Amino acid sequence: MSFQLMAINPHYHHTSDQLNEELLIIEAAKLNPERFAPLYDKYYKQIFNYLYQRMEDKDSAFDITGQVFLKALINLNTYQFKGVPFASWLYRIAYNEMMQLFRSQKDKRAVNADIGDLRFICEENEEPFFEEYIPVIKRLILQLDNDDLQMVEMRFFEKRPFKEIAEILDITEVNAKVRMYRIIEKLKKSLSKLKI
């Protein structure tokens, strides 16, 4: 198993002082919603990008982003600090809201990637990349189940480190690595059988 090193994402990763500061804002916002503003400003773009990466329609992505923050504010009293950035909670709300939208068929699930991301998948699987492979790689990715697709999107398309993936999915870092290892094995098998 070989995992490429990924830089820490400064928009997500927090020092312990930053976590404390965030916690104080949350506690203040529980008493007064106006105090929620710093968290709204800090995470709006991140949450929108996360949603739009998985959705077809831009306007729906903006609508859901608004819904995510409203839900977060309404349920702030139930939020429990687990020593990870507040964003991980927002991502989970975002995922649930998005899946609900897909179930109501108001928008369609989409997978968005750059050519570079597909090349990255081949490299991670120690396979050469040729443009001719693109349709096959797309097909392989679309065959993955929802959980595995989430992992591939976070790891290969959004380049998130395992620590961050683990925190967002509320699993351990080791568990995230094992799951990724299994997906890579699966992809490797299919990629090695590639016939143009």
Q: With b meaning 16 or more CB within 10 Å and e meaning fewer, what string describes 34-66?
A: eebeebeebbeebbbebbbbbbeeeebbebbbe
Among 76, 90, 152, 154, binds other proteins (CB under 8 A): 76
Residue 80 sits in the site that holds other proteins (CB under 8 A): no
Give the DSSP H/E element, type plus range, for residue 22: helix 16-31
Q: How far apart are CA 123 and CA 129, in angstroms?
A: 8
Q: How far apart are CA 5 and CA 157, in angstroms?
A: 14
Of residues 164-183, those binding other proteins (CB under 8 A): 173-174, 177
Of residues 93-152, those binding other proteins (CB under 8 A): 108-115, 118, 128, 130, 132-134, 138, 141-142
Among 148, 153, 149, which residue's Cα sits nearest to residue 182?
148
Residue 186 sits in the site that holds other proteins (CB under 8 A): no
User: Which residues in this chain contact other proteins in the complex, by CB under 8 A?
Assistant: 1-2, 16-17, 20-21, 24-25, 27-28, 30-34, 36-38, 40-41, 44-45, 48-49, 52, 56, 58, 62, 65-66, 69-70, 73-74, 76-77, 83, 108-115, 118, 128, 130, 132-134, 138, 141-142, 173-174, 177, 194-196
